[in-house]
Structure 1
Amino acid sequence: MSEGLPVVAVVGAPNVGKSSLVNRILGRRRAVVAEEPGTTRDRGYARAEWAGREFLLVDTGGMEPAARMGLEALVTLQARVAVEEADVIVHLTDARTGPTEADAAIARELLRSGAEVVLAVNKLDDPSDDTERYRFYALGEGEPHPVSALHGIGVGDLLDEVVSRLPETTPPVEEDLLPGIAIIGRPNVGKSTLLNRLLGQERAVVSEAAGTTTDVVESEVEVELDGGLRERFALLDTAGVGRRAHRARGVPYYSALRTGGAIRRAAVSLLVVDAVEGLVAGDLQLARQVEEAGRSLGVLLNKRDLVPASRLRELEEQAAVRLPDLKPPVLAISALTGSGVEKVLPFAAGLHRAFTAKIPTHELAEYVNRLTADNTPPRGVKIRYATQTGTAPPRFTLFATRPGDLPENYLRYLENALRERYELYGVTLKLKLKSSR
């Protein structure tokens, strides 16, 4: 995400306050925080700065070194990958529980790695009494730094120690924010499996349990376009959003908020639909979020290996009928086997081209003239001129006599013709009428 920046990973046992510390350092709610352990599962990356030094801050799930199977083992694997990437590791512990066996196992693992480790003891909320931190010398990681992520106590001193250990790096060149591709869908439809396929690595935790991803996971990808050109995108994996997410509490509620933010941030959203279950109300709700955000949408029919071709054709027709204002293109894939996955990024790049399309004025005006000549507007209305007045999504203005008399079905005819001629599928076309006077 930020080439050239040193990496600082925050690791520790479950529920010691890692995400709270990350939010405190960033000065905003970047990570989902809740009372129950296991809220963070994937690695979350964000740029941070302290004392003039920029670095990439990595939030991780709770490490459980003894776990050998199941979700705990997968989350621990994600944390271990973060440890391998990091230049400095903040090992966060909990003063209220004291040094636990899990803390000791993590400390042994970190010391064996040879990495730069800074030990922090969280939940010391009284700045006049930090005696509980002395028990953590037993972990063998050096000075235990007292902090309160909740109140911000000691965080500045901790960051002073962290940046003092960062390697010298060349400051990265500032770049424009990459256009985003958000992978969205209901819980357990295969979003994280698809992400890992696209990246060729275990970037996101994948489990049979629904709702494994609770935050937005961001990675950078490069797509080869026609003519050998290449374009970079930010790929966003999101939490599964259930039909009643707006009524949910705690983690599901905040995860739904994060997903909504990813939809607004991304130029393209790829809606992953379970081909076995079909297009259901939860899918349509997510599609409406994309439409209301004014972004572009493509539909990925996952698990195509489990249904006949006739079922895929039926779902493609359903998407066109039930999402008429977007008319999203549809691609059938199997994230599990990898079938069709090689087409996903070019598919998304095509949606981005439609979203940012710019049509020369003379070409557009001539085409609309041909359309009106082939199918004359009713009630004596004459469309004299057409021009594109915006992109992302494409917006057009038609100058006509008596624009208020132009019926909705004629506007739909023009919209469909423009969509087909310029391949503007998956975007909401905005046609505005003005008086030619």
Structure 2
Amino acid sequence: MKPVVAIVGRPNVGKSTLFNRLAGARKAIVEDIPGVTRDRLYDSSDWNGREFIIIDTGGIRFNEGDIFAREIKLQAELAIEEADVIVLVLDSREGITAEDEQVANLLRKSNKPVVLAANKVEEFKKQLDYYEFYKLGLGDPIPVSAMHGYNTNELLDAVISHFKPALEYEEEGDAIKIAIVGRPNVGKSSLVNALLGEERVIVSDVPGTTRDAIDTPFQFKGQNYLLIDTAGMRRKSRIKETTERYSVIRTLKAIERADVVLIMLDATEGVAEQDKKIAGYVHEQSRANIIVVNKWDLVEKDGQTMNRFDKDIREELKFLSYSPIMYVSALTKKRIFQVLEIVNFVAEQHHRRVNTAELNQVINEAMMLNPLPGGGGKRIKILYSTQVRVAPPTFVFFSNKPEMVHFSYLRYLENALRKNFGFEGTPIRLLLRQNTERDNC
């Protein structure tokens, strides 16, 4: 799983600037798909081949009489609890303050590795006063300029040096790992309880098959599963709402581990903005997924009710056009075990591999029906295609002018792949590469 890095410190030391600098350095494919949004409180980054989640926090203050200061401090403490490595940002111009020392004391109690970032350094050739930060007893201060990006490479080297080795985790046999995600009160835990409460479902008592207290292995019709519940997102009181902001980190970890993600919606409320964000995370992580509409028993129905729901969901979650939609009731257990049948199906689709000859035949036929437009006086061509990986299915197209192939044409090719090979419930990744052979046409 990806390590988590929390950026903390008192107000106005440049935490968010550093966060934006490190998150902006992440190399990722940007998709031109509306509705895929990201909460800027956290993001993904990578350095020297190690990917990690990075969290921004509010400025920590220790004024107990200020309710906002208490809530911000609580948020920071939760981020620290989630983190594998903590970056303490300090202001090199102001030196150590009383609040810096209080934050340092807080971090020492966490027993987590801490990297000191002496921010706002302008001239790195001079001997500066950031050496006083050694007094905090948290190791070597690293001078940086988050504003200009100076010396952030050394900072990142120090951060990833504290990561645990990227080990291959032992898989849970042939178990399909299912993460259940969604807003509070959509029925995630009710679905888990309904699945585990059925007589035909056997909860495994084999030691060593779980990773966390929230993991539940079970068996249904001879197939092993591992349920990864994200119950932390259920909290609702005012203080706990701020807690929930960081429970999304646990959800991201669950999504990353899963083979299939169940995106749960509330049939009585429709698609909310937070639903779009959660679905966007699943799509960005390229996980197989199913849209599960719960509380279907509470909806008044006529002959067209399900069709109307389908249309509304497809409109709101356009980027999940490939995802099956299921209507269930965790309370009455209506269709809940059909969900497992669809889980099996989309897991297979997620790992499907297409024969190269069949793939090129489909792509060539698609290009004959809708040829690529010309570019710069020379015809744009896709000369060859191959599948390079599964989970998600990823295809590389070799072109004489890959930079001239518009994303809308890739969407057209994706639709051709889905029409011919299925891939229901799984994202497809299409990559363009320069053809290395001489093209004389």
Match of 1:324 among 295, 318, 321: 318
In structure 2, runs of 5+ residues without a counterpart are 1-169, 202-211
Query: Partner amino acid for 1:198?
Result: L
- Shift, 1:431, TM fit: 0.7
Which secondary structure state, in structure 2, belongs to the residue aligned with residue 344 of structure 1?
A: helix
Task: Kindly provide the amino acid, as one letter, of the partner of residue 187 in structure 2.
Answer: G
The correspondence for 1:238, drawn from 230, 236, 260, is 230
- Structure 1 residues 233-242 or 427-436, which shifts more? 233-242
RMSD of the TM alignment (CA)? 3.0
Offset, 1:294: 2.2
Q: What's the CA shift for 1:248? A: 6.3
Q: 1:369 to 1:318 in 2, by over 3 A?
A: same
* Residue 356 (structure 1) aligns with: 351
Where has structure 1 moved over 4 Å in runs of 4 or more?
A: 173-177, 242-245, 247-251
Cα 1:292–1:408 change in 2 (3 A) is: closer
Matches within 5 A, 1:189-208: 189-200=186-197
Please say which of residues 254-263 and 297-306 is displaced more in the overlay: 254-263
Alpha-carbon shift at residue 195 of structure 1 (Å): 1.2
Deviates more, 1:333-342 or 1:256-265: 256-265
| Aligned counterparts of 1:393 and 1:222: Cα–Cα separation in 2 | 25
Give the secondary structure class of the aligned counterpart of 2:231: coil
- Supply the AA of the counterpart residue of 2:306: L
What percentage of aligned pairs have identical amino acids?
36
Question: What amino acid is aligned across from residue 352 of structure 1 in structure 2?
Answer: A
2:423 maps to 424
Quick one: distance in 2 between partners of 1:252 and 1:260?
Answer: 13
Matched with 1:342 is: 337
SS of equivalent to 1:277: coil
Taking a change above 3 Å as real, the CA distance of residues 249 and 343 of structure 1, as seen in their structure-2 partners, is closer
| Counterparts in 2 of 1:373 and 1:396: CA distance versus 1, 3 Å | same
Distance, in Å, in 1 between the alignment partners of 2:417 and 2:225 is: 27
Cα 1:331/1:175, change in 2 over 3 Å:
closer
Would you say 1:180 and 2:177 are equivalent positions? yes
Q: From the superposition, tell whether residues 177 and 248 of structure 1 become closer, same or farther in structure 2 (CA, over 3 Å).
A: farther
2:265 to 259, 273, 296: 273
| Residue identity matched to 1:322 | E
Q: CA-to-partner distance for each residue in 1:121-166, whole Å, 9 max, x for gaps?
A: xxxxxxxxxxxxxxxxxxxxxxxxxxxxxxxxxxxxxxxxxxxxxx
Query: 1:249, CA displacement in angstroms?
Result: 6.6
Q: Which residue of 1 aligns with 2:252?
A: 260
Counterpart position of 1:84: none
Quote the residue 2:103 is aligned against.
Answer: none
TM-score by length of 2: 0.51
2:124 aligned residue: none
| Counterpart contact for 1:184–1:240, Cα < 8 Å | no
TM normalised by structure 1 equals 0.51
User: Partner of 1:222: helix, strand, or coil?
Assistant: strand
**d(CA) in 2 for partners of 1:316 and 1:402?**
39
Structure 2 CA distance for aligned equivalents of residues 420 and 176 of structure 1: 32
In the alignment, is residue 405 of structure 1 matched against residue 399 of structure 2? no
Per-residue CA deviations over 1:266-314 (Å, capped at 9, x if unaligned) read 1211011111100111111111111222212210111222222534323
User: Does 2:285 match 1:293?
Assistant: yes
Aligned equivalent of 1:208: none
> 396-405 or 273-282, which moves further after superposition?
396-405
Partner residue in 2 for 1:60: none
Give the whole-Å Cα distance in 2 for the aligned partners of 1:331 and 1:235: 18
Alpha-carbon spacing, 1:176–1:186, altered in 2? closer, same or farther (3 Å):
same
Return the alpha-carbon distance in structure 1 between the equivalents of residues 306 and 184 of structure 2: 21
User: 8 Å contact 2:296–2:329 — kept in the other structure?
Assistant: yes
Alignment of 1:434 onto 2:433: yes
The alpha-carbon distance between structure 1 residues 220 and 427, as it changes in their structure 2 partners (threshold 3 A), is same
CA distance 1:264–1:352, change in 2 (3 Å): same
Judged with a 3 Å threshold, the aligned counterparts in structure 2 of structure 1 residues 243 and 280 are, in CA distance, closer, same or farther, namely farther
Report the equivalent of 2:275. 283
Indicate conservation of the 8 Å contact 1:333/1:339, yes or no.
Answer: yes
- In the alignment, which residue of structure 2 is the partner of 1:313? 307
Per the TM alignment, residue 200 of structure 1 is displaced from its structure 2 partner at its CA by: 2.1
Q: For the structure 1 residues 180 and 369, does the alpha-carbon distance in structure 2 shift closer, same or farther, using more than 3 Å as the test?
A: same
| Aligned AA (2:310) | E
Secondary structure of 1:415's match?
Answer: helix
TM-aligned CA deviation for residue 357 of structure 1 = 1.4
* Residue segments in structure 1 that go unaligned for 5+ positions in a row: 1-172, 204-214, 225-229
Pairing 1:108-257 to 2, within 5 Å after superposition: 176=173, 178-200=175-197, 217-224=214-221, 230-239=222-231, 241=233, 251-257=243-249
1:425 to 1:325, Cα distance in 2 relative to 1, 3 A: farther
1:382-397 correspondence to structure 2 within 5 Å: 382-397=381-396
The 3 A distance-change label for structure 1 pair 250 and 378 is closer
Deviation per CA, 1:314-333, whole angstroms, max 9, x where unpaired? 33223333333332210111
* Residues 174 and 224, structure 2, Cα contact 8 Å, conserved in 1: no
The amino acid that maps onto 1:318 is: D
Residue 320 of structure 1 aligns with an amino acid whose one-letter code is R
Task: State the shift of 1:223 in Å.
Answer: 4.9
C-alpha displacement at 1:250, in angstroms? 6.5
| Number of aligned residues | 248
1:350 maps to amino acid: F
Measure, in 1, the Cα distance between the counterparts of 2:213 and 2:387.
Answer: 34
Cα distance change, pair 270–276 in 1 and its aligned pair in 2 (3 A): same
